[in-house]
Amino acid sequence: MPHYEPWSEERARTVIAEFAHLEGPLMPMLHAIQETFGHVPDAIVPMLAEHLNISRAEVHGVVTFYHDFRHEPAGRHVLKICRAEACQAAGGDALAEHAEHKLGCKLGETTADGRVTVEPIYCLGLCATAPSAMLDGKIVARLNERRLDTLIAEAQS
């Protein structure tokens, strides 16, 4: 399970500073912020704008453009189920429905107890051993109902 730090302006400043020497540093900075705090908090937007000498609107535009960046923290575990064509061809639709049913929430939502966020993902590059999924960075292929149940149980524990 990933461990995230509570928001701290001071900590955020050191994270930003780490990438200051790069060309085009905004994306690496945002990834590092999310890795540190579990999401991209609003408070970081003016800090980045000032550091990079661009407008807040520009930073906001970038944060909201990319699917990866979270505005709110996710559940304790994140289960991503591939919904792209190769996985669809191998029965991925039924598995996604099965996961929604088991967890009691739709793709893109978090369970009521805050334990699991389940999301669609479009291609993990494991298309020859489809269907596939990813639980907190752990990838699983040749998914079937039994394997998916094991993953869900792991996420709920």
Partner 1 sequence: MSIRIYVPKDACAIACGADDVVAAIQAAALARREPVEIVRNGSRGMLWLEPMVEVVTPEGRIAYGPVEEADVEGLFEAGFLAGGAHALRIGKPEEHPFLAKQTRLTFARCGIIDPASYSDYVAMGGYKGLERALALGPAEIIEEVKKSGLRGRGGAGFPTAIKWKTVADAQGDRKYIVCNADEGDSGTFADRMIMEGDPFELIEGMTIAGIAVGATKGYVYTRSEYPHAIAAMEKAIEVARAHGMLGVNIAGSAYSFDMEVRMGAGAYVCGEETALLDSLEGKRGTVRAKPPLPAHKGLFQKPTVINNVLSLTAVPHILADGGEKYANFGMGRSRGTMPIQIAGNVRYGGLFETAFGIPLGELINDIGGGTASGKPVKAAQVGGPLGAYVPTWQFDLPFDYEAFAAKDALIGHGGIVVFDETADMPKMARFAMEFCSVESCGKCTPCRIGSTRGVELMDRIMAGERVEANLATLTDLCQTMKLGSLCALGGFTPYPVLSALNHFPEEFGAPPRLEAAE
For binding to partner 1 (CB under 8 A), which residues are involved?
22-28, 30-31, 52, 58, 61-62, 65-69, 84-90, 121-130, 132, 134, 137, 139-142
Q: Judged by CB, which is closer to partner 1: 8, or 129?
A: 129
The response to whether 87 counts as a known ligand-binding position is: yes
Distance in Å, CB of 112 to partner 1, minimum = 26
Tell me the closest approach of the beta carbon of residue 142 to partner 1, in angstroms. Answer: 6
What does 23-35 look like in DSSP terms, one character per residue? SS-HHHHHHHHHH
Q: How far apart are CA 152 and CA 81, in angstroms?
A: 11
Q: 152 near 102, Cβ under 8 Å?
A: yes
C-alpha 46/C-alpha 123 separation (Å) is: 33
Is 123 known to sit in a ligand binding site?
yes
Q: Which is nearer to partner 1, 112 or 128 (CB)?
A: 128
The span from the CA of 153 to the CA of 129, in Å, is 22
* Element containing residue 93 per DSSP (H, E): helix 92-103
Q: For partner 1, which is the closer residue by CB, 105 or 127? A: 127
Would you list which residues are annotated within the binding site?
82, 87, 123, 127
